[in-house]
Structure 1
Amino acid sequence: MPRAHGEEITVEGEAEPVIVKLGVWVSDTKSRRDKLTAGQLASLAKLGVDWA
């Protein structure tokens, strides 16, 4: 996924959709995976993310 990728989501209670910078999140998570706790890695694994 490119770092510039964003997803537009609707947030309950908000009038306008919000852009979530998903590419930035993925990139940052990958680059900092050595600092993630076991619980965080387990949560990512539940989502199908396995970078460890």
Structure 2
Amino acid sequence: MRGSYTARTAPAKTAAASRAGRGAEAFDKGLQALQQYLKREGGGAPGRSHVERPPDGSEHRTGVWLANQRQRRDRLQPAQLAALATLGVDWASA
């Protein structure tokens, strides 16, 4: 039968909801990589080309991530800024 469609059983995810989930997950991964770097190095910001290797074996471009967060700081949530400020990121507390 032409034009016959089955009804959706679950509502479709909105694009905004999907991006927010991925964005929060990426921020958390970056924050964990930055914590690992600071714990090992004792402080200071990683250089832009720094790559951190978390225990799961992946690679995280922590220096680029931190630079991106700084450029987008006006779009970060207050809790995200507070988390960065707790780690000593000076621009996050301003």
Could you tell me the TM-score, scaled by structure 2's length?
Answer: 0.43
Partner of 2:75: 35
Which has the bigger relative contact order, CA under 8 A and spacing at least 6? 1
Tell me, in whole angstroms, the C-alpha distance in 1 between the residues paired with 2:67 and 2:90. 14
Q: Answer 1 or 2: which has greater strand percent.
A: 1
**C-alpha RMSD of matched pairs (Å):** 1.5
**Displacement, 1:50?**
2.2
Unaligned runs of 5+ in 2: 1-45
Sequence identity, in percent? 45
Q: 1:8: which partner in 2?
A: 53
2:61 match: 21
Code of the residue aligned with 1:6 in structure 2: it is V
Instruction: Could you tell me which runs of 5 or more consecutive residues in structure 1 were left unpaired when the two chains were aligned.
Output: 12-16
Of structures 1 and 2, the larger Rg is shown by 2
